[in-house]
C-alpha cells in the first residue's frame, strides 16, 4: 500500500499567534475571544459546552479548545489520534508552520515568537521522524529571510520538508524580498504551500493600508500583470463598499491567485501548491446556495475586474503545462459538499488535471466546521475513485 499524507495541517498553538488571533480564527469580537480563551484555560471543556452550548456552536468551542492546548505536540497528537483507529491509520502529516510575528501591531506580538515555534517543531520531528513532515513558514518582513541561513539549515537537515507562505498576513507573494527563496526552492525541488481563499487569517493590525503600498515592489517588475495588480489595489482603496477597505477584505489583495503568475513566469519549474482550490466563494460563485457568499463573489469580481473566478484562474492559468510543478489542494474546501461535487464534475470532464490535486484537511482550522474524519468523509464520498491518488500518489509527487 502506498503511503498516504495529509498535505495541509497546522499544529501551532494560540501562544504562537498574536494576542487577538482568536478574534479572527473564531470570528468573534476581541473581548469575547479573550474571555473564551481564559474560560477554556480555567474550566473543563465539558463544563463550557454545557454552560455555553446554546450560545456558541460546539464546533467553535472545539476550535478554541485545540487552539489553547499547552503545546504543539499536544495538538499534533490530537490530529494523529483522530486517524489512529480509522482506515487511515498510519497517515503521514504535513504540518505547516506560519510566521505570525508580523501579523498584527507590535504590542500584539505572539507570546511565543516564530523562532520558538520552529525550535519546538525540531524537537517534534526527532520524536516522530517518520510521521511528521513540517514546512518552514516564511514572511519577507522577517530579517532572517535575507540570507536564508535558518531556512536552508531547516531544509537541508531534512527536518523540514517544504516552505509555507501565508500572504494575507501582510505581504504579496511576488515581493522582491522572496526572489532568492524562489530561486533556491526551484533549484532544489523544494515544495511551497501557499494560502488562497477569501477568508482565513489575515493582517489584523490597526492600519491595514500601512502594509499595502500603492505600487508594491516585484521580483518581476515588467510583467504585464503588475499594472493590473496596481489598479486592483487602487480599486480596493477607493471602493464604495467600505468593507473592502478594511482588513478582512483588503487582505484579499495579497491572496489573489494572479499574484503567482509573475513568480511562475520567472521560475516556471517552481513546485507550488495554491491551496484550497481558491475557496468555496470562488469555487461556487453565483451558484453558491449561501446568498451572502454569492453576493460577495459578484461584488469582489466587479471591484477586482476579474474575468474569471479564482478557481478558474487556478484551473486554467496555473495548473497548465507551462508550469509543470503547480498544484492545488482540497483543504478546508472539502467541508463543503457542493465544492466537492463541483470538483468531481471537473475531474470527470477533464477540466482540471487530477494529478495536480492534493488531499489535505486544514486541521485545526477546519475544526470550526466539523470533526477531522467527518470532513475527510465528505471528500472521499464525493471524489470516490480519485480520492486514493489524492492522498498517496499526488501528495508524494508534490512532496518528493
pLDDT digits (tens, 9 = 90+) for 128-163: 999 999 999 999 999 999 999 999 999 999 999 999
C-alpha cell at 275: 491551496
Measure the CA–CA gap between 265 and 262, rounded to whole angstroms: 5
pLDDT at residue 22 tops 90 = no
Angstrom distance (rounded) from CA 204 to CA 187? 34
Reported as a single tens digit per residue, the pLDDT across 275-295 is 999 999 999 999 999 999 999
pLDDT tens, residue by residue, 201-224: 899 999 999 999 999 999 999 999
362 neighbors 10 (Cβ within 8 angstroms): yes
- The residues, any chain, with a CB within 8 Å of residue 276's CB and separated by 6 or more, are 195, 196, 197, 328, 329, 330, 331, 332, 333, 362
- In the chain, DSSP assigns E strands to 5-9, 92-95, 135-138, 162-165, 192-194, 272-274, 326-329, 357-358
Characterize 261-273 residue by residue with b for buried, 16 or more Cβ atoms within 10 angstroms of its Cβ, and e for exposed: bbbbebbeebbbb
- Cα(380)–Cα(383) distance, rounded to whole angstroms? 5
Give me the mean pLDDT over the 165-179 stretch. Answer: 98
Residue 207 makes CB contacts below 8 A (sequence gap 6+) with none
Q: Is the pLDDT of residue 126 over 60?
A: yes
Q: Write 151-157 long-range contacts (CB < 8 A, 24+).
A: 151/181, 151/184, 152/184, 154/118, 154/122, 155/188, 155/190
Percent of the chain with pLDDT over 90: 83
Q: What's the predicted TM-score (pTM) here?
A: 0.93
Q: Which helix (H) or strand (E) holds 346?
A: helix 337-348
pLDDT in the model for residue 70: 83
Q: What is the pLDDT of residues 325-374, one digit of tens each?
A: 999 999 999 999 999 999 999 999 999 999 999 999 999 999 989 999 99
Q: pLDDT category, 27, cuts 50, 70, 90?
A: low
Identify whether 204 is preceded by a cis peptide bond (ω within 30 of 0).
no
Whole-number pLDDT of residue 4? 98
Helix (H, G, I), strand (E, B) or coil at 168: helix
Question: How far apart are the C-alpha atoms of 179 and 198, rounded to whole Å?
Answer: 25
330: left (phi over 0), alpha (psi -120 to 50) or beta: alpha
The confidence score (pLDDT) of residue 200 equals 85
The domains found in the chain, sorted by start residue, are 5-399 (3.20.20.140)
Amino acid at each position: 500500500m502506498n503511503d498516504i499524507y495529509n498535505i495541509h495541517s497546522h499544529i501551532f498553538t494560540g501562544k504562537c499567534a498574536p494576542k487577538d488571533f482568536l478574534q479572527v480564527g473564531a470570528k468573534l469580537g476581541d473581548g469575547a475571544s479573550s474571555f473564551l480563551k481564559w474560560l477554556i484555560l480555567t474550566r473543563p471543556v465539558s463544563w463550557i459546552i454545557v454552560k455555553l452550548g446554546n450560545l456558541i456552536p460546539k464546533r467553535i468551542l472545539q476550535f478554541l479548545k485545540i487552539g489553547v492546548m499547552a503545546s504543539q505536540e499536544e495538538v499534533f497528537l490530537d490530529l494523529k489520534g483522530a486517524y489512529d483507529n480509522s482506515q487511515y491509520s498510519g497517515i503521514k502529516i504535513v504540518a505547516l508552520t506560519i510566521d505570525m510575528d508580523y501579523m498584527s501591531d507590535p504590542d500584539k506580538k505572539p507570546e511565543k515568537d516564530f523562532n520558538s515555534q520552529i525550535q519546538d517543531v525540531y524537537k517534534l520531528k526527532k520524536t516522530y521522524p517518520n510521521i511528521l513532515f513540517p514546512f518552514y513558514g516564511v514572511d519577507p518582513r522577517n530579517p532572517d529571510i535575507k540570507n536564508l541561513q535558518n531556512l536552508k539549515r531547516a531544509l537541508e537537515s531534512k527536518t523540514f520538508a517544504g516552505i509555507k507562505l501565508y500572504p494575507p498576513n501582510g505581504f504579496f507573494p511576488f515581493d522582491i524580498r522572496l526572489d532568492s527563496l524562489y530561486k533556491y526552492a526551484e533549484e532544489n525541488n523544494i515544495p511551497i504551500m501557499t494560502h488562497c481563499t477569501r477568508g482565513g487569517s489575515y493582517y489584523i493590525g490597526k492600519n491595514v493600508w500601512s502594509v499595502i503600498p500603492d505600487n508594491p515592489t516585484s521580483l518581476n517588475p515588467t510583467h504585464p500583470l503588475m499594472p493590473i495588480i496596481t489598479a486592483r489595489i487602487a480599486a480596493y482603496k477607493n471602493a464604495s463598499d467600505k468593507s473592502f477597505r478594511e482588513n478582512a477584505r483588503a487582505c484579499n489583495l495579497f491572496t489573489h491567485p494572479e499574484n503567482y503568475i509573475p513568480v511562475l513566469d520567472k521560475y516556471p519549474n517552481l513546485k507550488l501548491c495554491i491551496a484550497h482550490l481558491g475557496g468555496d466563494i470562488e469555487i461556487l460563485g453565483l451558484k453558491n446556495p449561501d446568498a451572502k457568499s454569492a453576493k460577495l463573489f459578484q461584488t469582489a469580481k466587479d471591484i477586482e475586474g476579474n474575468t474569471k473566478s479564482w478557481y478558474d484562474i487556478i484551473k486554467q492559468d496555473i495548473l497548465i503545462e507551462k508550469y509543470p510543478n503547480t498544484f492545488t489542494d482540497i483543504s478546508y474546501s472539502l467541508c463543503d459538499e457542493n465544492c466537492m461535487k463541483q470538483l468531481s464534475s471537473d475531474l470527470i470532464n477533464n477540466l482540471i488535471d487530477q494529478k495536480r490535486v492534493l488531499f489535505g484537511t486544514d486541521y485545526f482550522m477546519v475544526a470550526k466546521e466539523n470533526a477531522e474524519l467527518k470532513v475527510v468523509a465528505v471528500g472521499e464520498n464525493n471524489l470516490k475513485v480519485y480520492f486514493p491518488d489524492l492522498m498517496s500518489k499526488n501528495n508524494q509527487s508534490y512532496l518528493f
